Amino acid sequence: MTEPEERHGPGYGRASWEERCSALRERAGQPHAGADVCTFGETMVALRGSGPLKLGGTMNVSIAGAETNVAIGLSRLGHRTHWAGAVGDDEAGQLVLRTLRAEGVDVSAAAVDPDAPTGLILFEPRLPEVTRVHYYRAGSAGSRLGASAIEGVFATAPPRVLHLTGITPALGPAPLSAVRRALQLARQHGTLVCLDVNFRARLWSAQDASQVLREWMPYVDALIASDDELPLCLPPSRMAEAAAADTGPGYARDAALAEQAEILLDLGVGEVVVKLGADGATAFTAGGSLHRPAQPVRAVDAVGAGDAFVAGYLSALLDGEDLAGRLGRAVTTGAFAVASPGDWEGAPTRAELGMLGAPPGTVVR
C-alpha cells in the first residue's frame, strides 16, 4: 500500500473522529444512495454436529462467516447492508446467497466463481462450553476473492461504513490485495472504516497478521479487538513488550490496554474498542475511556458473539449514539448471540433489544 494521506489531508473527508461521528449523527435516518455498511469476505456452508464428529450422527446445515454475521445483525436492526464476497457455482453457494437475501442483505455485487467451490466449516461441540471448528476453505471461491466486486460497490454508491475483518486478508494473496484496495477506496470517498481483528491462528501466524494489520492502522477509524488481539496491531517493538507482559495474578490489564490503545490512537485510529468477553467491553478515544459490563444471560453458544457485538456497535454509531450508547447496544446484541445457538440466528431485531431486561419466565403475547 502507498503511504496514506495525513488524516486532515484532502480526500479523507471529516477531519477528526468526533467530527465524523457528529456527521453520522446529523445524517441518521436521512436517505442515502449507498448502503449503510458494506463488508466482504468468505461465507461458508456450516454444518453443526451434536457431538464428536468421529461418531457420526445428524448435522444442522446453515451458513457462517464473520462479515455476513455482522451484515445480518445490522440488517435485522434496520440498516441497509451490502456483502461483496464470493461463492462457488454450486448448491452451497446458492444456499449462502439465498440466506443472505432472505435476511435483507444486498448480494448484487457478490461474485460466483465457476472454478472454485464454496468453503465449508464444521462445528463440533466437544464439551458444554468448548466447540472445535474445522475449516475446509483452501482453494475455495472465497480464497480467490478479488477487488472487482468492492470496486463496483464504490463506483455505484459508496457506503457510509466499510467493515473489514482480519480473516479476509489471511485467505490468500487475492483477498489481501482486495482489502488493501478497499481501504484506498474508503479513503478516497470519505467512508468510515471499521476493522475487527478477528485473528484466526489456523489461517496465519501472529507475526504475519501483525505485519499486515499494523500497516492498516492509519486507515482505520474504529478498531475492534479482544484484549489478546490488540497487540497484533502495535508496532513491532510494542508488540514484543505486550507479549512479554506479566498476565498473572495482579496484572494491571486495564492499564496495559490503555497504554496500547493510546499508541493506536496516536497512529490515527479514531476509537479503540476492546471486547472482554464476560467482563464486557472498554472503548478508548482521544477524550478518555469508558467501560460497559456484559449483559447477564445464560450462555448457550458463544460462537458469533463478537460479530453480534460489532453489529450492535455499528448500528448505534449509524444512529448517532454517543460512546455509552454504542457500547450499550454492542453488549446487548452480543448477549443475544451468547444466549442463542448458531452464528447469527439469534441476532435481535430493533424491537427485541429491550427483551434482555424482562424477568425470567416472561411470556410476550
H/E run at residue 131 = strand 130-136
* Catalytic choice (113, 221, 227, 307): 307
H/E run at residue 315 = helix 305-318
In degrees and rounded to multiples of 5, residue 193 shows phi and psi of -110, 125
Which grid coordinates are listed for 101? 437475501
Count of C-beta atoms within a 10 Å radius of residue 129: 9
Count of C-beta atoms within a 10 Å radius of residue 318: 25
Residue carrying the nine cell digits 460497559? 292
- Burial call 148-176: b when 16+ CB within 10 Å, e when fewer: ebbbebbeeebbbbbbbbbbbbbbbeebb
User: Could you give the strand order of the β-sheet that contains 59-64, starting from the edge strand earlier in sequence?
Assistant: 59-64, 44-49, 120-127, 130-136
CA 208 – CA 232 distance, rounded (Å): 9
CA 257 – CA 270 distance, rounded (Å): 16
CA 50 – CA 123 distance, rounded (Å): 9
CA 235 – CA 232 distance, rounded (Å): 8
Residues 6+ apart with CB under 8 A from 186: 154, 158, 162, 192, 193, 219
CA 132 – CA 327 distance, rounded (Å): 29
Contact 160, 36 (CB under 8 A): yes
The torsion of the CA quartet 87, 90, 94, 95, rounded to 10 degrees, works out to: -90
Q: Is 307 a catalytic residue?
A: yes
- Please give the DSSP secondary-structure letter assigned to residue 286: T
Catalytic residues: 307
